[in-house]
Structures are given as structure tokens and as C-alpha cells.
Amino acid sequence: MDAIQIYGGNCLFGQTKIQGSKNAVLPILAATLLIDGVCEIENCPDISDVRHMLRLLESLCCTVTREKQKVKIYTKQLSQCEMPQESVGVMRSSVMLLGALLARTGSVSMQYPGGCVIGSRPIDLHLQGLRRMGVVIEEKEDGFHAETTGLIGATHRLPFVSVGATENLVLAAVLADGETIIENAAREPEIGALCEFLTQAGADIEGAGTGRLRIKGVKRLHPVSYRVPPDRIVAGTYLATCLCSGGEIFLQDAPCLQLQTVIQAAQAMGAGIQESTEGLYIACKERRKALPGLETDSYPGFPTDLQSAFLAAMTLAKGKSTIRETIFENRFRIVPELQKMGADIQLQDNSVIIEGTDRLHGALLQAEELRGGAALVLAGTAAEGVTVVTNRHFIERGYEDICLDLQKLGARCKKVDYPVADT
Ligand code: UD1
């Protein structure tokens, strides 16, 4: 079984460079379908979600080449729209292909997308929005068929903020006939990156980064070369590593402006932080303080994707911390695993109360999803003794090489194949 083994308990000291953003590059890769010709994507992270997305693009007759962090996608021969279930099933972002493919070919059949086990994650907002733009969708038990004779601009008011639905509607709108307005759009920086990519390709988009997007359909887009911005969630994860273990680290290229709420939470826990254009310096010399009242929210609120990493840090802070999760209902699946390490956590509906302890001990833990899995590795770096986190592949969906990054920060961890007997 793939796993990560950690000899924990030491303070951290070192620096690492932050990889390109997963959540930015996935919709951008989908957006290349809208463009005839070769797009170059630089700083493209080599993670399994990106590999799945590239495989999906290849299955749609795109030609894909990768040289280190540079990916080239040639979409001229785009023809068929049956997507392979093995890729659609494991990755929710495959739904992002829907808006782009409808714009390009007018008809798509696909199974419902998969992804992490962090909640029910329906796609009703995506489908409702597309219907409003002239798409006829026939839903079946395990998938759906969507067809349009031509996308038309529409006004959408999302009943709640959804990153994926906002992105899908943007992708459907850029080549649609007429104007599309998206009210209550998600404001996540990754949507800003998608809009920047599309605008460079010739799209007409106003309001990127705000809650109201206005997109005027254009006739065609042209090929572009685009550099993926650094991953704020990876940077926030390593910031939380320092909160867990203590020490002094520098995160080169960390997007400080996108991490303001996270930085404030870390400061409230006692971290010393210096922001610069080069990156983020974090020092945790004293034992961390508890943080009561942390709540996840859509951007610019505290990101749900960093909730688990902060939960791990709070298990070692002095005093009582609390977290309320407001986005995904199953984000607390790591609680029993942290309890195996000696953490004192009470789970009540969508909240946890954490009584900080002064030490965790190593344990055999099982990752069940991406961000929770990474948080278990952080807890392992801080715990005394040996921790093994199995199911490394979940973590590799979003982190290029978490072991190498943590080694650079002074942690003692490595990839292993763990011989776990069937029980
Ligand atoms: C994206 C991110 C993910 C992040 C999440 C919230 C990517 C690839 N993934 O996921 O890392 O944790 O935003 O910041 O960018 N919902 C519905 N119906 C829908 C769509 C969403 O009920 O049609 C619900 C979801 O179940 C969830 C909430 O809306 O409770 C927010 O989900 P959404 O913002 O859409 O998340 P994703 O785009 O899947």
C-alpha cells in the first residue's frame, strides 16, 4: 500500500518553493478546449489530478506534450465527447469540461464526476445554469447527456457561492451568443486566473475577482502561453506545518495577498510572519496559542481546503480551539485518526472543539482524501515517534512531492510501500 512514513517531533528549519496551483490549472486546462491551436501552460504542477485531466483531453483527441512544468495542448482535431469513466470518476474537475465541450461540440455524455469524499458535492447549479443557456440535459442514474444547438448568454444568480459552477458558466459563456451575467459568483483567486487566461485568449470578461461577472460572447479565442500562479493551498499547508512543529521556514513564491485570512489565523496562534514579494517567512518559537472561533467560508474567508491542516495544528496549541465547517459536511473525517495520536477533539455536527495537548504520538493512520491526508502528514511531523499515513495517492492528487517539500523544511519523512495485512 502506498504510504508516507514520518519520524516526527523535531522543529522545522528550511525553505521550499511553492508549486503551481491545482485549482487554477484544472479549469484552465479545460479552457484550452475552447481554443483552436497550441496553448502553452507553464508552471503546471505534476500532480495526479492534472495527469487525469490531461488524459481526458487526450481522450477527446487533443495532443498533449509535457516537458518538466511546461505543458502544450493542441486542440485542433477535437471531435468526440464520450469521456473515459476511470478519469471522470476520480476527479470532480472533469465536470469543468462540460461547459467548454458544449461550447465546442454542442453535445456531451458523461458520468457524474467523482472527487474527494468530503461531502455530497452535487452539480445541480452547473446543470441549472447550463439549461438557462440553451442546453437540454437528460439526467440518468449514473450520468447525463447534454445537448445544445448553440449556447446563448443568460443572467444567473447563484443561490450560494460555488467555485465550480462559476467556472463552468464562465467557460460556457465566453463563446456564447450574447451577454452572460453571473451574480453571487465565487471570488476565489483561481477564478481570477481562469478569467485572466481567457482574456489573454481574446475573451471579453469584466469583474474577475468580484461577485459579479459580465461576459460578452466572442466569435473565437486564440492560442496563448500562460504561467500558472502559485498554489495558495499548498503554501497554507506548509504554513500550518510550521504551526504544528514549530521552527522557522520560508515559502518561496507563496501568494501572500491570497493568504490574508490564513496569515491572520496563524498570527492569532502566535506565529511571526513576514510577507514579501519573494514569499512568506514564518517563525513559531513558542508553543502555539489556541484559536477559538475559526470558521471556513468562501474567498476571502478562511478556506475549507486548509481547515484540516489548521485542525492538526490546533491539537498541539495551548488551550481550547474551535472550528466550524460551513462548506463541506465530511471534512472532519480525520478526527478519529488524530485521536489515535492522542489528540483531544470533540465532534459536534459541523463543528469541532479541540483541547490542545502538549504532545502527539506516532501512529498508523489512513488518509481518505486529499487535504485531510496532508493534514495527517503534518500531524506526523509534529508527533513523537514514527507515523505512517497510508493511501499516499490521495495526497498526490494535489501535492507534487509533499515528502521532498517537507524534507526541505527539515522534516524527516519518505514515501514507502506499507505492508498492511487485510483485516
Ligand atoms: C472547489 C475546489 C475545492 C474547494 C471548493 C470550495 C477545485 C478543483 N476545487 O471545489 O478545492 O474546497 O471549491 O472552496 O477548484 N454545491 C452544490 N451544487 C452545485 C455545486 C456545489 O450544492 O452544483 C455545493 C457543494 O456541495 C459545496 C458548496 O456548494 O457544499 C461549494 O462547492 P464548490 O464551491 O462548487 O466546490 P468545488 O468547485 O467542487
- Whether 265 has a pLDDT exceeding 90, the answer reads yes
Q: Out of 48-52, 65-69, 121-125, 179-183, pick the least confident.
A: 121-125
Using most ligand atoms within 8 A of CB, pick from 163, 166, 395 the residue to mutate for ligand 1.
163
Q: Tell me the best of 121, 128, 170, 370 to mutate to test the pocket of ligand 1, counting ligand atoms within 8 Å of each CB and taking the most.
A: 121
Instruction: Give the span between the Cα atoms of 181 and 186, in whole angstroms.
Output: 13
Q: C-alpha cell of 359?
A: 504532545
* Catalytic-labelled residue, pool 116, 242, 256, 284: 116
Cβ atoms within 10 Å, residue 82: 10
What is residue 382's predicted lDDT score, i.e. its pLDDT? Answer: 98
pLDDT of 141: 81
The answer to whether the pTM exceeds 0.85 is yes
**Can you spell out the DSSP letters for 74-135?**
E-TT----BPPHHHHHH-GGGGHHHHHHHHHHSEEEEEPP---SSS----HHHHHHHHHTT-
What single string gives the DSSP state of each residue in 322-347? EEE--S-TTTTTTHHHHHHTT-EEEE
Mean pLDDT of 311-317: 98
Provide the pLDDT confidence category of residue 330 given band limits of 50, 70 and 90.
Answer: confident
Which neighbouring-strand residues pair with 165?
Answer: none
- Identify the pLDDT of residue 423: 45
User: Which of 77-86, 183-192, 225-234 is predicted with the least confidence, judged by mean pLDDT?
Assistant: 77-86
Mean pLDDT within 313-333: 95
Q: How far is CA 59 from CA 55, 164, 300, in A?
A: 6, 22, 36
Indicate the pLDDT class of residue 61, thresholds 50, 70 and 90. confident
Q: What does the alpha-carbon distance between residue 363 and residue 146 come to, in Å, rounded to a whole number?
A: 47
210-229: per-residue pLDDT in tens? 999 999 999 999 999 999 99
Sign of the C-alpha dihedral computed for residues 123, 126, 132 and 135 taken in this order: negative
Binning pLDDT at 50, 70 and 90, where does residue 398 land? very high
Percent of the chain residues topping a pLDDT of 70: 93
Residue 91 pLDDT grade (very low, low, confident, very high; cuts 50, 70, 90): low
Q: Read off the C-alpha cell for 84.
A: 473515459
305 Cβ closer than 6 Å to some ligand 1 atom: yes
The closest residue, in CA terms, to atom 7 on ligand 1 is: 23
Question: 116 or 227: which carries more pLDDT confidence?
Answer: 227
Closest CA to 28 of 147, 160, 189: 189
Nearest CA to 99 out of 179, 30, 197 is that of 30
- Our answer on whether the CB atom of 162 is closer than 6 Å to any ligand 1 atom is yes
Residue 75 confidence (pLDDT) above 90: no
Confidence at 364, pLDDT banded by 50, 70, 90: very high
What pLDDT does 399 receive? 98
Indicate the pLDDT class of residue 137, thresholds 50, 70 and 90.
Answer: very high
Residue 211 backbone phi and psi in degrees, to 5 = -85, 5
Mean pLDDT of all residues in 203-207: 98
- Torsions phi, psi for 242 (to 5 deg): -70, -35
Percent of the chain with pLDDT over 90: 83
Residue 369 Cα distances to 331, 379, 398, angstroms: 9, 15, 10
26 lines ligand 1 (CB under 6 A): yes
pLDDT at 116 > cutoff 70: no
pLDDT digits (tens, 9 = 90+) for 274-290: 999 999 999 999 999 99
For the ranges 17-31, 58-72, 119-133, 297-311, the lowest mean pLDDT is seen at: 119-133
β partners of residue 185: none
3 state DSSP class of 135: coil
Residue 370 confidence (pLDDT) above 90: yes
For residues 95 and 123, the answer to whether their CB atoms sit within 8 Å is yes
Mean pLDDT of the chain: 93
394 C-beta closer than 6 A to ligand 1? no
Q: Ligand 1 centroid vs 377 CA: distance in angstroms?
A: 24
Confidence check: pLDDT of 263 > 90: yes
The cell for 412 is: 524527516
Question: What is the maximal distance between C-alpha atoms in the chain?
Answer: 63
Active site residue 116: yes
Burial of 277 (0-12, 13-18, 19+ CB in 10 A): exposed
What pLDDT is stored for residue 373 in this prediction?
A: 98
Q: Tell me the mean pLDDT in the region 315-341.
A: 95
Q: Please report how the helices 232-245 and 370-382 are oriented relative to each other, as an axis angle in degrees rounded to 10.
A: 30
Does ligand 1 have an atom closer than 6 angstroms to the CB of 327? yes
